[in-house]
Amino acid sequence: MGAWDGDEQQLTAIGTPERTLLTREEAHRPGVPKTQVRVISVTSGKGGVGKSNLVINLAALYAKAGRKVLVLDADLGLANLDVLLGLAPRYTLQHVLEGEREMGEIIVPGPGGSSIIPAASGIEELTRLSPEDRTTVLEEISSFASTYDLLLLDTSAGISSNVVFFNLMADDVLVVLTPEPTSMTDAYAVIKVLSLRHARHSFILVINCVKSAAEAAEIFKRLQAVTNRFLDVKLTYAGHVVLDERVVQAVCAQRPVTELFPQSAASRCFQNVARSLNRLALEM
């Protein structure tokens, strides 16, 4: 058995009929209520592509639109959502895994009325969750996640066991990349691992830090051409985010750019991505 081959079994085993995180296959069975929480993992092959920034802006937009949004900072060893938002959580996921707190006790308010499960930073042990730790995470989230409409998982970059685990939790895997060649290569690596080793065959792409929509479309076409040739996967384009000085200003102010500068070019891009994800949910 591979290092992560037991993750799908863990996902199906956790929870009760009333409160559970369903696997993608279970969520699409006839008769399953469509009110089940939608789980989206936001991942990347390379760090520094703006993944966490996308998460906090999507959370803010969906929460302001009336959705109940929960965000899990799943970059467990190098958490940064709290820094991006100027938060100082007293308790983190580390306290849950050590049995000191329950998941519901560590939640802190997020942008737009969303909720955030903070993770710890600088704790090496959290970068490699044990099977018991994974079970704890699933059980704790399953105990209350059904009260939310949307669960966003902000994973770490790369193809570690933690990254694979959290991507297997999701209904939709959203891969963020930039025009840098290394970002594109590493994004392909994530897609390859999840498809060949874990039978995930559908991915949503967002291209960040581009100069124009045309540049983003070209990057998507190039990656799609490679995956069409070598992998049995479907890539769906959810949009792009342009280079915008307002994003830098918002990060320095520790606020989502969609809140601080809602009419900026980047904010309009984030809004378009949110609308695309809504449309994709309706098509599922």
Give the pLDDT mean for 233-253: 97
Look at residue 10 in the predicted model and tell me its pLDDT.
36
Look at residue 229 in the predicted model and tell me its pLDDT.
96
Q: Is 37 helix (H, G, I), strand (E, B) or coil?
A: coil
Q: Flag the least confident range among 44-58, 128-142, 224-238.
A: 128-142
Read off the pLDDT band of 21 (50, 70, 90): very low
Task: Tell me the per-residue pLDDT of 111-154, one tens digit each, with 9 for 90 and over.
Answer: 999 999 998 765 555 566 788 887 888 888 888 788 899 999 99
Q: How far apart are CA 284 and CA 281, in angstroms?
A: 5
**To which residue do tokens 């559970």 refer?**
20
Give the pLDDT mean for 227-247: 97
Read off the pLDDT band of 261 (50, 70, 90): very high
The amino acid sitting at 270 is F
Q: Return the bridge partners of 177, or none.
A: 207
Write b or e for each residue in 138-176: b if 16 or more Cβ atoms lie within 10 A of its Cβ, otherwise e: bebbbbebbebbbbbbbbbbbbbbbbbbbbbbbbbbbbb
Give the pLDDT mean for 23-45: 63
CB-based contact 82:107 (threshold 8 Å): no
Look at residue 236 in the predicted model and tell me its pLDDT.
97
Look at residue 77 in the predicted model and tell me its pLDDT.
63
Domains in the chain, start-ordered, CATH in brackets?
37-283 (3.40.50.300)
Pairing of strands 38-44, 150-157: parallel
Higher-pLDDT residue of 76 and 230 is 230
Given a cut of 60, whether residue 188 has pLDDT beyond it is yes
Read off the pLDDT band of 258 (50, 70, 90): very high
Q: At what angle do helices 181-198 and 213-230 cross, to 10 degrees?
A: 40
Higher-pLDDT residue of 262 and 22 is 262
Task: Tell me the per-residue pLDDT of 192-211, one tens digit each, with 9 for 90 and over.
Answer: 999 999 999 999 999 999 99
Number of Cβ atoms within 10 Å of the Cβ of 226: 15
CB-based contact 205:178 (threshold 8 Å): no
CB-based contact 241:266 (threshold 8 Å): yes
Q: Flag the least confident range among 7-16, 31-40, 190-199, 232-241.
A: 7-16
The amino acid sitting at 31 is G
Q: How far apart are CA 152 and CA 129, in angstroms?
A: 19
Task: Tell me the per-residue pLDDT of 70-108, one tens digit each, with 9 for 90 and over.
Answer: 999 988 766 689 889 999 899 988 888 888 998 889 999
